[in-house]
Amino acid sequence: MGAPAPAHLAALRPPLRAAVEAALEGRRLDREQALALAGARGAEHPALWAAAAALRDRGHPARVTYSRKVFIPLTNLCRDVCSYCTFARADTDPRAHTMSPDEILAVAEAGARRGCKEALFTLGDRPEVRFESHRRALRRFGHGSTHSYLVAMCRRVLEETGLLPHPNAGILSRRELAELREVSASQGMMLESVSDRLCGPGGPHEGAPDKRPATRLAMLRRAGELRIPFTSGILIGIGETPAERVEALLALRDLHERYGHIQEVIVQNFRAKPDTPMAAAGEPGLVELMSACASARLVMGPQMSVQAPPNLSADYGPLLLSGINDWGGISPLTPDFVNPEAPWPEIGRLARLCEDAGYALRERLTIYPRYVADDEFLAPGLRAHVRAMADAEGLARPGAAVPAAVAA
């Protein structure tokens, strides 16, 4: 039996209180209990956050983490069209760009000099299927596919700068995932939602075949079968219901329970972008975001890392009250190319905010501590390099990513 339920749980109606008490007692929430979390309202929200924060403190006492990274937008061409996305461009747009090897290495080298340890590669899904101009660019770089080019650049960044690649490359085959596994410490893809409704006529994913829930869940299963430390999460505010958010969290939990590979769950809030079909759509407020974070914690349990990006909230300090334990990747050099209107917080300011709340801000690697020493989750060619960058806790060892040739 767990400890007695805190007094603030008296504010919760019976189904919600039963679910929260079960989580605090260390029990796995069943689907009915988890869905009860979606019904929080009014004064129930702070009670939900407090319970999630208490659960977080059991699994991640006294510290909050982040990854010091560079953001490398390999290409912003994409075969999909999502109604909220401002990252993807058509090849007729003057802002469309595929980075050259020299451009990629220049960013990675500059990041290494600034103490970064992660190289986040972000790109559109299979743009060569849609754009002849991209196929020509790939041929100039000596490649027949975006995937081949990505693997080659991950390898070069790893070998020439010491940064650990973390590709977020969309839907990949088993072979493609396995090839990336050899040159990256971790990989990622947001599940976003399990709502097929969002892929229907007028939905934000109507023009995005790669956003179909079954396709994304199959990809996450392949990553699990290959033992790839994997980042995923949900995107809130694109037309899904609170219950559908919980269904997505349950799907991630089921995958993790089977394969053990989900290293963190991101709760990302939609931000309306100019010049997109959803430019006038309402954005989730802070209460809604905090309750989604709390639901992620209560569904996933105390050990899972739950992340909320600080640059997507004007007032991000209260997110610590909702059960998160990670701020995600933060760059001292490159912008957030997916959310260019949202600058990263200054790391020193973030550290002070965490300290004021009773937590130490600690830098981690792109691969989470529990996988660093596990040979099953790291390719043989990466093990020595990753472990040389990690301290005794599996977190980042200061300065470890910068080879002498780059630092000079």
CB 365 within 8 Å of CB 118: yes
Whole-number Å distance between alpha carbons of 71 and 340:
12
The 10s digit of each residue's pLDDT in 32-84 is 999 999 999 999 999 999 999 999 999 999 999 999 999 999 999 999 999 99
Which pTM does this prediction carry?
0.95
Helices and strands counted in the chain (H then E): 14, 9
Contacts of 22 (CB under 8 A, 6+ apart): 29, 33
Whole-number Å distance between alpha carbons of 183 and 380:
10
Crossing angle for the helix pair 286-300 and 242-259, to the nearest 10 degrees? 30
Domains of the chain with bracketed CATH? 63-407 (3.20.20.70)
Provide the CB-side half-sphere exposure for 262 (13 A, CA): 30
Mean pLDDT of the chain: 95
Report the Cα 15 to chain-centroid distance in Å: 30
The 10s digit of each residue's pLDDT in 44-55 is 999 999 999 999
C-alpha dihedral sign at 137, 176, 206, 274: negative
Give the pLDDT of residue 398.
Answer: 82
Give the pLDDT of residue 1.
Answer: 32
* DSSP assignment string, 95-122: T--B--HHHHHHHHHHHHHTT--EEEEE
The pair of three-digit structure tokens given for residue 54, joined into one six-digit string = 């208490």
State the average pLDDT over residues 92-97. Answer: 94
Whole-number Å distance between alpha carbons of 325 and 34:
20
The 10s digit of each residue's pLDDT in 190-233 is 999 999 999 999 999 999 999 999 999 999 999 999 999 999 99
Angle 32-35-37 from CA coordinates, rounded to 5°: 125
